[in-house]
């Protein structure tokens, strides 16, 4: 996709202001031997700084329900920055965008002079770009988001769900009993979805595609003239695939896994999404760092590591996996063809599609070294799973009527789910390991001399006449 001419013009003006004399003043970057005609010497330096960054680039307080311009910029940029593959033109164009959006500074003099960002990470918008957002949002701001979106996303190809998902309740990852449950109507397939929202909210909302919710489009900026998915473009009506992460778009699709254990890993856990400073094993974190976990409902617990035969502090959280029965004719994305991962996606998952929830506790393995973040995709196995409980999303009778199965069929589903309680196993992104690394039920022995039991003194009562 060609970059907007206005972006080229404005970035050229930024570069000129730094490399040439202005009104008798010396150039801001007067390093010896600078090649005035080599644009990449200026713009690609900015790209290199951003590529090394994990997490947010632009400062935003927004979340997935109320995204602002910078929130969308971070989301779209994340699909582009890691797969430029040394493409000089693309990296230069990204550097152009950064030069327009963020304030710059020079460090060093002469041959050591180099260009950097003036702010600490994440970067705040420069004042004149903020002015563009207010006064001309449909030109440069929209041009930037549109350029990133076209590079980082492609429209998903689709099949019918019945061509991919299972015809039975495939919990074989930790229950090898092979019980097949099929609808008397013969029109459902089973899939799984992980979700950390409160159960009441899930039952109220289902898992509808955010882009189809009027209030979400309003609150997330899709009605703004700077957004490439606004009502003029109507791109929010399509299903999109993220090229950089080789995964489904968050807002126009709902992901569904082929197997139960796959969904136990979702939502993915990455410590840099909480704070950039949360690196290395939690055992080395300060109390201030540990306090950052509470807002994300993550705790620090001690578990016994069977491999090292030692007790270890690890991070733990909870998720629910929803066993879903969807029509076999539902349109599903062929994500699995693009990333070789046992997952697909549909546009919407309604309440009546959700058969049961299975609550799991996840014990995350630490990163491999003190400089890395916790990331569910980087260690093998990545976590130990313990199944805690389950329940029908609606009543048993409502579920049976919706599926069209017999009373014996719904009892068989319930028995299979009940048999999962207490199961422990390891997963690593898409892999299942029947032996759990952590013994999460072993009580830690008390160390050192134990306090003697206290005995209450017996108070003598004097009787009259004694």
Query: How would you write 205-258 as a 3-class SS string?
Result: HCECCHHHCHHHHHHCCCCCCCCCCCCCCCHHHCCEEECCCCEECCCCCEEEEC
Boundary (domain end) residue, out of 154, 188, 223: 154
Strands (E), 97-203: 104-107, 114-117, 153-155, 158-160, 188-195
**Residues 161 and 150 both lie in one domain:** no
Based on the structure, what is the number of domains in the chain? 2
Residue 167 domain flag = yes
How high is the pLDDT of residue 25?
60
Are 101 and 77 in contact by the 8 Å Cβ rule? The answer is no
**Residues 276 and 334 both lie in one domain:** yes
Whole-Å CA distances, 220 to 213, 230, 236, 267 = 11, 11, 12, 21
**Residues 53 and 171 both lie in one domain:** no
Are 91 and 42 in contact by the 8 Å Cβ rule? The answer is no
How high is the pLDDT of residue 464?
36
**Residues 161 and 144 both lie in one domain:** no
How high is the pLDDT of residue 461?
39
* β-strand partners of 326: 189
The secondary structure of 221-236 as a DSSP string is TTTSTT-TTSTTT-GG
Among the listed residues 342, 309, 298, the one whose alpha carbon sits nearest the alpha carbon of residue 438: 309
Q: What angle do CA 10, 16, 21 make, to 5 degrees?
A: 145
Residue 28 domain flag = yes
Q: Whole domain around residue 381: which residue ranges? A: 156-209+253-439
How high is the pLDDT of residue 452?
62
Report how far residue 102's alpha carbon sits from residue 125's, in angstroms, rounded to the nearest whole number: 5
Question: To 10 degrees, the CA torsion angle through 258, 264, 268, 270?
Answer: -150
**Residues 142 and 162 both lie in one domain:** no
Residue spans of the chain under pLDDT 50: 32-33, 172-180, 457-466
Residue 106 domain flag = yes
**Residues 291 and 172 both lie in one domain:** yes
How high is the pLDDT of residue 207?
74
Query: Alpha carbon 37 to chain centroid distance?
Result: 41
Report how far residue 359's alpha carbon sits from residue 364's, in angstroms, rounded to the nearest whole number: 16
Residue 62 domain flag = yes
Whole-Å CA distances, 382 to 11, 222, 316, 375, 429 = 43, 36, 12, 8, 7
The proportion of the chain whose per-residue pLDDT surpasses 90, expressed as a percent, equals 55
The set of residues, in sequence order, having a beta carbon less than 8 Å from that of 95 and lying 6+ positions away, is 11, 40, 42, 43, 44, 45, 46, 47
**Residues 176 and 290 both lie in one domain:** yes
Q: Token pair 């570069």 is at which residue? A: 15
Sign of the torsion angle spanned by Cα atoms 278, 281, 285, 291: positive
How high is the pLDDT of residue 216?
92
Radius of gyration of the chain (CA): 28
Alpha helices in 309-395 (DSSP H): 335-339
The phi-psi region of residue 76 (left if phi > 0; otherwise alpha if psi is between -120 and 50; otherwise beta) is: alpha
How high is the pLDDT of residue 171?
62
Whole-Å CA distances, 432 to 87, 194, 304, 353 = 37, 16, 20, 26
Residues 42-91: tens digit of each pLDDT: 899 899 999 988 889 999 989 888 999 999 999 999 999 978 888 989 99
**Residues 166 and 135 both lie in one domain:** no
């Amino acid at each position: 996709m060609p970059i907007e001419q206005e972006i080229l013009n404005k970035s050229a003006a930024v570069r000129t202001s730094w490399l040439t004399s202005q009104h008798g003043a010396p150039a801001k970057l007067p390093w010896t031997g600078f090649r005035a005609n080599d644009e990449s010497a200026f713009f690609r330096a900015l790209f290199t700084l951003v590529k090394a960054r994990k997490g947010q680039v632009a400062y935003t307080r927004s979340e997935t329900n109320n995204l602002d311009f910078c929130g969308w910029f971070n989301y779209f940029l994340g699909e582009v920055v890691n797969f430029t593959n040394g493409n000089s033109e693309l990296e230069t164009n990204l550097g152009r965008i950064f030069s327009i959006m963020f304030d710059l500074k020079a460090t060093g003099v002469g041959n050591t002079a180099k260009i950097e960002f003036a702010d600490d990470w994440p970067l705040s918008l420069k004042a004149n770009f903020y002015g563009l957002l207010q006064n001309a949002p449909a030109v440069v701001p929209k041009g930037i988001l549109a350029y990133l979106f076209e590079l980082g996303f492609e429209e998903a190809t689709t099949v019918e769900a019945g061509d991919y998902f299972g015809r039975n309740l495939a919990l074989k990852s930790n229950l090898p009993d092979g019980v097949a449950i099929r609808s008397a109507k013969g029109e459902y397939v089973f899939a799984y979805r992980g979700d950390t929202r409160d159960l009441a909210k899930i039952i109220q909302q289902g898992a509808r595609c955010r882009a189809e919710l009027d209030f979400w489009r309003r609150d997330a900026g899709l009605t703004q003239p700077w957004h490439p998915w606004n009502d003029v473009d109507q791109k929010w009506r399509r299903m999109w695939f993220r090229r950089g992460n080789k995964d489904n778009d968050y807002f126009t699709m709902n992901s569904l896994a082929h197997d139960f254990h796959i969904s136990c890993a979702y939502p993915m856990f990455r410590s840099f999404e909480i704070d950039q400073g949360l690196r290395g094993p939690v055992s080395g974190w300060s109390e201030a760092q540990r306090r950052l976990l509470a807002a994300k409902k993550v705790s620090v617990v001690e578990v016994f590591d069977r491999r090292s035969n030692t007790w270890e502090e690890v991070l733990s959280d909870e998720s629910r996996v929803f066993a879903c029965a969807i029509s076999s004719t539902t349109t599903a994305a062929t994500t699995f063809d693009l990333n070789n991962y046992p997952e697909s996606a549909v546009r919407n998952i309604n309440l009546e599609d959700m058969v049961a929830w299975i609550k799991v506790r996840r014990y995350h393995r630490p990163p491999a070294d003190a400089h890395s973040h916790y990331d569910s995709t980087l260690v093998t196995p990545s976590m130990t799973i313990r199944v805690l409980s389950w329940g029908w999303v609606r009543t048993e009778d409502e579920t049976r009527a919706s599926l069209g199965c017999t009373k014996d069929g719904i009892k068989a589903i319930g028995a299979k789910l009940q048999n999962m309680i207490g199961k422990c196993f390891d997963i690593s992104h898409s892999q299942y390991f029947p032996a759990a690394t952590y013994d999460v039920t072993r009580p830690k022995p008390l160390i050192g001399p134990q306090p003697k039991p206290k005995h209450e003194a017996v108070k003598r009562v004097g009787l009259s006449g004694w």
